[in-house]
Amino acid sequence: EVQLVESGGGLIQPGGSLRLSCAASGFTVSSNYMSWVRQAPGKGLEWVSVIYSGGSTYYADSVKGRFTISRDNSKNTLYLQMNSLRAEDTAVYYCARANKAVAYAFDIWGQGTMVTVSS
């Protein structure tokens, strides 16, 4: 079965760091474009970052310089390292696959992991 399972969320103080993981099954992370998308409580979807199959990475302006996307090919897992966290980073974080077969739309999503930044 093709699926994504996120983990690593939790309560963290402002200025702290957290690493999210997204374990994939049924397909190869390194062969796909993989993204993180977040949703603050009661708000809309916000794209956070992407890592392309070739390894290039891009970030939303709101997280650039603080967040790092990466992958471990041996574990077929995507990561999001989040540093210097702020209250406005509080959100459910989803990992998603942008599939070439559907014009690079996000066709597979994880269930999400909640990150709460608060003192």
Q: Where along the sequence are the contacts to other proteins (CB under 8 A)?
A: 35, 37, 44-47, 50, 58, 60-61, 94, 98, 102-107, 109-112
3-state secondary structure of 29: helix
In angstroms, rounded to a whole number, what is the distance separating the alpha carbons of residues 88 and 103? 31
Kindly state the smallest distance separating residue 102's Cβ from other proteins, in Å.
4
Q: Which is nearer to other proteins, 13 or 103 (CB)?
A: 103
Residue whose token pair is 């974080």: 93
Tokens of 97: 């696959």
3-state secondary structure of 16: coil
Kindly state the smallest distance separating residue 68's Cβ from other proteins, in Å.
16
Is 78 within 8 Å of 34 (Cβ atoms)? yes
Q: Which is nearer to other proteins, 103 or 119 (CB)?
A: 103
Kindly state the smallest distance separating residue 106's Cβ from other proteins, in Å.
6
